[in-house]
Structure formats: structure tokens, C-alpha cells
Amino acid sequence: MMTNTEDAMIDYYARRAAEYERIYARPERQADLQVLAQFLSRAFSGLQVLELACGTGYWTQFIARTAAAILSTDYNPEVLALAKPKDFGNCRVEFTRADAYSLENTAGGHWAGFHGFWWSHVPVARRSQFLSVFHSRLSPGAKVVMIDNVCVEGSSTPVLRRDPEGNTYQLRRLDDGSGHEVLKNFPSDSDLHASLSGCATDIKVRRLPYFWITEYKTAGMPDNSINTDGNAAGLLSRQ
């Protein structure tokens, strides 16, 4: 069940859809954004990827350069409508609406997973449930990448308050003048390791000045037989 905070965030991103990609034009972040784009252009070579909270498909474009196929999902139809017409080259990209906390109509057996700028919006108390649902749609041993913001004074929206569970909140404004309190967490490396320990292996966290990248494999042995989509694994190479 969604909380008021989560409902408010969904509404905020629906209203922000048309202005969302301006965040990727911030001059001070350009060098880091290029590093992320290059990294994602190679990260999923030959793999079939499940992307959560894909938004306007900005990062999908880079993943599509070498991935075999991507199933990109988001809760908001407003952002999916902006993602669909983008150019994904030869990559087979499918968009579908899905709640990242339930992934109800999302098939399993994906060989890789990705979410960008989503982990920071997952409340501390829901991290474990979120990971359990996400990983249930991935093969054991699947490669996962997540990227998100580092809090940088003078560039990031300041943190307004902290709740008793340890979530932090920002006040954001949209072009229509409306103000929105948005849950936005900035985990430390040890927070990330602690959240993933027990359900992941080979965890690597890397920090750029403005962003962090976390890579890991889902726990369990790779399944080389048949995935739950009914596709024979091995048609595409696993990396």
C-alpha cells in the first residue's frame, strides 16, 4: 500500500514530466553525466535488462546502445509517453506501467536490472521489501546497476528535514509555482552495503563528485536453463 509521501511523489513526477530533463543540463554536472552515460552504454552489453522508474527514458537511451533488450517501467503514464518516442537504435525496448514496489504485471527472469535516481526515493523502511520484489523479477546472479545523487552543497536542493526513520526531505518547486515536499535520501557507502548484504554479492560502490554508482549481482547461482518469460537463457550472452 502506498503512503501519502509516496502518492505525493508520484503526483510530483507526473506534473514534472515535461520539465524533468532540464536536470541533465546543469553545467556543473556535465563531466559526471558523461561518465555515467559512457558507463551505462557498456554496462549491459548483450543483456536483457529490467529497468524500474525509467521516467522519460533518458538513461534507457544509453543502456540501449549495447543491451540486447530492455523492459522499462514506471508508474506514471506521463513520463512513459515522453520516453516511448525516443530513439533506441537496434535495441528492443518495451515500456510498460508498473509500480516498483509490486511489479505485479512484470514478468520475471531478467538477466540484468537497472534503476536511476530511484533508490534515493525509497523510504528506509521499504528498502528491503523493494529489493525483494525487484530481485524476484531477476535471475539469480543477475547484474544490477543503480545510480543516484550525491548531496552537494550549492548544487543539490537543500535537505529540509529528517524523519525518525532516517529519511530526509527536500522542498522542490515546479514551473507552475507549486511546492512539493519530496523524500530524497543520500545513503553513505556503508548504508548501501548494509541494504544489499544478504541479497547481493560482488557489491561495488563508486562515487563521482555529483553521483554514485552501485553495481552488484543478485544472490544465488546463475540459472542457465529457462527464464520465467519462457525464453531459453543462453540465446543472449550473460556478462
Ligand X SMILES: C[S@@+](CC[C@H](N)C(=O)[O-])C[C@H]1O[C@@H](n2cnc3c(N)ncnc32)[C@H](O)[C@@H]1O
Cα separation, 124 vs 108, whole angstroms? 25
Q: Does residue 13 interact with ligand X by CB under 6 A?
A: yes
Q: Which residues contact 96 (CB under 8 A, 6 or more apart)?
A: 71, 72, 73, 80, 105, 106
Nearer to ligand X among residue 58 and residue 88 (C-beta)? 58
Binding to ligand X by CB under 6 A, coded x per residue (else -) over 113-152, reads ---xxx----------------------------------
Going by the DSSP 8-state scheme, the letter that residue 38 receives in this structure is H
Nearer to ligand X among residue 9 and residue 50 (C-beta)? 9
The one-letter code for the residue type at 211 is F
Q: In whole angstroms, how far apart are CA 106 and each of 15, 22, 202, 229, 238?
A: 25, 30, 26, 10, 21
Three-state DSSP class for residue 195: helix
Q: Out of 36, 48, 58, 143, which residue is the one contacting ligand X (CB under 6 A)?
A: 58
Which 216-235 residues touch ligand X, going by CB under 6 A? none
Span of 29-37, 88-96, 111-119, 186-194 interacting with ligand X by CB under 6 A: 111-119
Nearer to ligand X among residue 73 and residue 195 (C-beta)? 73
Which 144-203 residues touch ligand X, going by CB under 6 A? none
Going by the DSSP 8-state scheme, the letter that residue 237 receives in this structure is -
**What does R_g of the chain's alpha carbons equal in angstroms?**
17
Q: Does residue 95 interact with ligand X by CB under 6 A?
A: no
CB of residue 223 vs ligand X: minimum separation in angstroms?
A: 26
For residue 130, give the nearest of 104, 102, 156 by alpha carbon: 102
3-state secondary structure 114-143: EEECCHHHCCHHHHHHHHHHHHHCEEEEEE
Whose cell is 525518525? That residue is: 164
Binding to ligand X by CB under 6 A, coded x per residue (else -) over 59-88, reads x--------------xxx--x---------
Q: Does residue 106 interact with ligand X by CB under 6 A?
A: no
Nearer to ligand X among residue 75 and residue 95 (C-beta)? 75
CB of residue 7 vs ligand X: minimum separation in angstroms?
A: 9
For residue 172, give the nearest of 28, 3, 16 by alpha carbon: 16
CA angle 162, 117, 100 (to 5 degrees): 95
Q: Out of 40, 43, 50, 53, which residue is the one contacting ligand X (CB under 6 A)?
A: 53
CB of residue 153 vs ligand X: minimum separation in angstroms?
A: 20
Cβ(203)–Cβ(143) below 8 Å: no
Closest-by-Cβ residue to ligand X is 55
Q: Give the residues lining the site for ligand X (CB under 6 A).
A: 9-10, 13, 53-55, 58-59, 74-76, 79, 99-101, 116-118
